[in-house]
Structure 1
């Protein structure tokens, strides 16, 4: 049996849990984000009420960004601040490094997600954040995720990386 490399051990190391700090839905392309206190996530689809739900079954079912990254983006824009609505992400987290969830399964309250990659900025960042917006978001745009197990998330829900085999977690949840 091959042992893990030092890097693999570090990447699999413990991470502190976080919490859900903001939820936003966009009912149509280019529509304003609507902040909500709770939202339902459908497996394989995304957030109910968000325009992406009916159009994709790929990695961009849900977008997440850390509140800490919003603060960094604001600093890169000379302290102008960055709001979740401007970056058009669905969920804002607090206290958890989202890159530690990339390519991993994690829970937000009762929902299970799988990190599907980094969420790179688009050219629209110049429009919403002003000159330099695109470069301010580079490396701080958050992650994309797929919905594995649906349910309702609420502000304040805990966010935890799942360390166990997913089939064990799902079986335990269904037997409750």
Structure 2
């Protein structure tokens, strides 16, 4: 089977100056290209063009290398996409292992427990805030000249406004880092 590189190499080789070696051994080819003999052997397995006597024509090899690199670059975007997917998989797996570790160490609680604890605590704070007016209303009334009931009403109205401002839904970002 004739490859495009071997077809073009016959054209390229004719333009070379007289005395230019057309039949290079594997060792000579490696030296000419600045690579190891093992690299040439690996290329041979990838269909590196050779003549019938087993030697290598340098122009044909260079043409083959250029085409090979162009082909690899054309495939690079798909390879990059696969690399990105693998990196994302590894990040998520690392996150999962980290979550399991923290849960086993008792440093991570289930979301339902956290929401309940937070809600209970917020309720306690709200109740304490509403009762605060009753505890200090007598002192404030004595110093301000208002009646005890007026001070309690002012305090309760302000406390309820504050609670309404802070009583909004809590949004939990499931993807937030720990």
Normalising by structure 2, report the TM-score: 0.19
Bigger strand share: 1
Higher RCO (CA 8 Å, separation ≥ 6 residues) = 1
Point out the structure with max Rg over C-alpha.
2
Bigger helix share: 2
Normalising by structure 1, report the TM-score: 0.19
